[in-house]
Chain A
Amino acid sequence: MTINQKSKPLLAVLAIVLLLLPFFIDALLGRGWVRIADFAMLYIMLALGLNIVVGYAGLLDLGYIAFFAVGAYCYALTGSPHLASAFPLLFPHGIHLSFWVVLPLAALLAGGFGVLLGAPTLRLRGDYLAIVTLGFGEIIRIFLNNLNAPLNLTNGPQGISRIDPVNVAGAPLNATQQILGVTLPSVHLYFYLFLAFTALVVFTSRRLEKSRIGRAWMAIREDEIAASAMGINTRNLKLLAFAMGAMFGGVSGALFAGFQGFVSPESFSLMESVMVLCMVVLGGMGNIAGVILGSVLLALLPEVLRHGVVPLQQALFGKMIIDPESLRMLLFGGALVVMMLYRPAGLLPSRVRRRELDTDEVAETV
């Protein structure tokens, strides 16, 4: 979509609201919620990355969180004192590369892993692909868990801590900064950093969607054979989809590592992959606004449950009967089923998707 004159003021209002948002949240709900908003934006970036693979190219990837892990560990290893323990002679203090140097590396590395995963799986049918990607995600996690012996690369299940914060213009974002007389606590600073990256990701997604490449992806999604008959190089384009999606994942992973200062394999379980997939499916596969809506809803849901369900249960029954974590997963699982049955195109479906799912012809024969 080109930004026409009419939507310009709207965009400006949106920008101002988003810029003031952390202050509103801070004042109304408390600082903890700004942190939650930061995480929500990480999820938006992840979901938009997965949206390229699932939504545009129609390749169901159940191991997407692996690319997030690659990005996160990439920065964790190069931006912390950890490598000093594995290579004391080579790096007596660890590497401590600047975040801005690691970021493109993390994106490239994750993209490389995307191609690595994509290459052998290209010929597979959709459901096989899902299982293989799921296996790939688990392999990455098993390696992260076990690569602490004999050479301590990942520090195993304990994870890597003391990761350097992101620096912008020489100022570390993990401390309160004064900018033009305004005091900005760390979570606000990261909010703006993530906001900038999210905007970049949204912009890139939007341009991709309308580009020749994006249209080719959608053609592949609708009918691969027809697409290749039209002269689309399906192999390269599918690889590109994997690589692009993985790069988005890698970038958000590096941001996550810098923000948290700590990474461990626990953050990259299958359930996280499923959660990101839920965001894409719930919001509306292939539609950027829908994916953003889905991400925000699902990122906020556990917090709302934690703050709402726990006191409610205590008030009603005097004790905790269902812990919010499993209630959240139950709702996720149920939502996936209900969405597929009654609203398969998501809350905000993309126009093409809707058209595609409305046709009640038999989709294909085995």
Chain B
Amino acid sequence: MEIFFQQIVNGLVQGSVYALVALGYTMVYGILGLINFAHGEVVMIGAMLALSSLNAMLGWGMPPLLALPLSLAFTMLGCMALGYGIERIAYRPLRHAPRLAPLITAIGVSIVLQNLAMMVWGRQYHAFPQMIANNTHTLAGAIINDVQIIIFITALAIMAGLMVVVHRTRLGRAMRAVAEDQHAAQLMGVDINRVISITFMLGSALAAVAGLMVSANYGLAHYYMGFLLGLKAFTAAVLGGIGNLRGAMLGGLLLGLIESLGAGYIGDLTGGFMGSNYQDVFAFFVLIAVLVLRPSGLLGERLAERA
């Protein structure tokens, strides 16, 4: 039973990060109907920028409590610029092209980002600096540390903030209008290009936070971390119903739970034939299962249409 609670805790923490990244996918999909394949790489760049800026600031002797928000702000700005650039270069010129064209440019962009990151930061794993005394607590037999608590609470707070932005502000109304019907929104005086750019920037800011969180949680960052994380977050978005913000959050948390419980129990289930090294397979099976059984996801309304 202790394993069970431990896996629940791990799953929720990991899931909240998935949810943040999944929101980026789902917002872009909701508005443009396009899978932003390069989103995972934005998370990776976020992790790398956060790491470098933190190390630099700590190196200057800045107190950790000042360095962390500063580097977070720097990282978010950097990722927002990146998200804006990706949209302008790879997606905007192809807005009316066949569906596969922007997907292929997105793959190209992710390859470029990955290799640029490899040139700048090298192939090695980077250790995340430890800044707070990472106390551990025991909760119903499960161990949880301060970093995990901070990650979980921050993620929930950011999601709540995003809901407020989308549902209570003028900008949010414009975003929902564009998602509903681009042409009609344009006729009502919404500046579509601006809304789309802002959506990309919002998603990238969330990705920046997620990147910081992932590397803080595992203590590591790597130029290749974005690919798998992006794929899993996309799965989370599909699981919850792509295009649906609440769905992305639910899907993220659920996927985190499925993964960690799956990894915890797969050994028992298969009689020791498969171990926790199959953890990454779960997300893909979930993805395929959802797309086959309920393509609209848990909370989605729209059905997957034709190609």
Judge whether B307 and A333 touch: CB under 8 Å: no
A152 to chain B, nearest CB (A): 13
Q: Choose from B33, B93, B288 the contact partner of A341 (Cβ within 8 Å).
A: B93
| A366 lies within 8 A of B105 (CB) | no
- Interface on chain B toward A: helix, strand, loop, or mixed SS? helix
Q: CB of B63 within 8 A of chain A?
A: no
Contact A336 B307 (CB under 8 A): no
- Name the A residues within 8 Å of B12 (CB-CB): none
Does A142 have its Cβ within 8 Å of any Cβ on chain B?
A: yes
Which chain A residue shows the least CB distance to B118? A326
B104 touches A125 (CB 8 A): no
- B114 CB contacts on chain A under 8 angstroms: 329, 333
Does chain A have a CB within 8 A of B90?
yes
Is A274 touching B35 in the complex (CB atoms < 8 A)?
no
Q: Choose among A131, A138, A149, A151 the residue that contacts B280 (Cβ–Cβ < 8 A).
A: A138
Size category, A interface: 35 or more
Candidates A125, A135, A151; contact of B304 at CB < 8 Å:
A125
Is A224's CB under 8 angstroms from B284's CB? no
With contacts A128-B291, A138-B284, A330-B115 known, is A344 near B103, CB below 8 A? no
- B200 at interface (Cβ–Cβ under 8 A)? no
Residues of B within 8 A of A120 (CB): 288, 291-292
Chain B nearest Cβ from A342, distance in angstroms: 9
What chain B residues lie within 8 Å of A271 (beta carbons)? 111
How many angstroms between the C-alpha atoms of A189 and B235 in the bound complex? 46
Q: Across the interface, name the chain A residue whose C-beta is closest to B273.
A: A150
* Residue pair A135, B101 in contact (C-beta under 8 Å): no
Given the contacts A142-B281, A274-B107, A329-B111, A337 and B96 also touching, CB distance less than 8 Å: no
- CB under 8 Å from chain B, chain A span 307-351: 322, 326, 329-330, 332-337, 340-341, 344
Which residue in A135, A326, A335 is a CB contact (below 8 Å) of B287?
A135
User: For the complex, what is the distance from the CA of A126 to the CA of B305, rounded to whole Å?
Assistant: 9
**Contact string against A for B residues 177-210, beta-carbon threshold 8 Å, 1 for contact and 0 otherwise:** 0000000000000000000000000000000000
Q: Which chain B residues border A356 with CB–CB below 8 Å? A: 98
Q: Is the CB of A270 closer than 8 A to any CB of chain B? A: yes
CB of B109 within 8 Å of the partner chain: yes
Q: Is the Cβ of A336 less than 8 Å from the Cβ of B108? A: yes
The answer for the CA separation of A138 and B282 in the assembled complex, in Å, is 11
Please choose the segment from A36-44, A162-170, A251-259, A357-365 that sits at the chain B interface, where 4 or more of its residues have CB less than 8 A away: A357-365
The residues of B with any CB-CB pair to A shorter than 8 Å are 33-35, 89-90, 93-94, 96-105, 107-116, 118-119, 227, 231, 234-235, 238, 272-275, 277-278, 280-281, 283-285, 287-288, 291-292, 295, 304-307
7 closest pairs, A vs B, by CB?
Answer: A336-B108, A333-B111, A366-B33, A333-B112, A135-B284, A126-B307, A337-B108
Q: Which residues of A contact B (CB under 8 A)?
A: 58-60, 62, 120-121, 123-132, 134-136, 138-139, 142-143, 145-146, 149-151, 224-225, 270-271, 274, 277, 281, 322, 326, 329-330, 332-337, 340-341, 344, 356-357, 360, 362-364, 366
